[in-house]
Amino acid sequence: MSIRGVWQLVKLNVNYCDHSGSSRFIRPFIMNGLTEYAQNHPHAEVTSTVRRGRHPHMTGEFRNGNTKTVNLRNMEMDDITFHLSYMFSEKGKKGGGGGEARTEIHCEQKRSGGVATGDVGRRCGEFGLIRLDETDEQTRGDYSL
């Protein structure tokens, strides 16, 4: 996709294996369809690389320096063309998903406990409670408010 008339995809590299089963649909696509995409989009350098023993994927490099990788393992021709057109229409910005998924919810809540201090044992009398370490036998069993 272009931003102010400047295409953002600079380089596209398609990696595949020449003998593995996960690359069986991309091998004929590279021979026929990839050259057509390269001719239709002269602004981007389109290359293909054989990487034996690896699953197929394509990596796009954008003007802002970001890269995006799309897995093409066991994808048929329709899926490959969809992901290829997706890569050409990308802007190269980081992050995925919609803005709604990333919004944070902020709410104002009052703290019910107050400020935590070290004098909890001394403040028991304020709440009508009796400390357990008191030695007075009369008040030791009475914990009512």
3-state DSSP assignment of residue 145? coil
How many other β-carbons are positioned within 10 Å of the β-carbon of residue 132? 9
Nearest to 58 by CA among 32, 33, 80, 25: 80
Phi-psi bin for 54: left (phi > 0), alpha (psi -120 to 50), beta? beta
Please give the pLDDT value at position 128.
59
- Say whether pLDDT at 13 is over 90: yes
pLDDT of residue 36: 83
Q: What is the pLDDT of residues 74-131, one digit of tens each?
A: 888 888 888 888 888 777 776 655 555 556 666 666 656 666 665 555 555 555 555 5
Contact (CB, 8 A) for 18 and 53: no
Query: What would the mean pLDDT of 21-45 be, rounded to a whole number?
Result: 84
Residue 135 pLDDT: 52
Name which residue leads in pLDDT, 110 or 29.
29
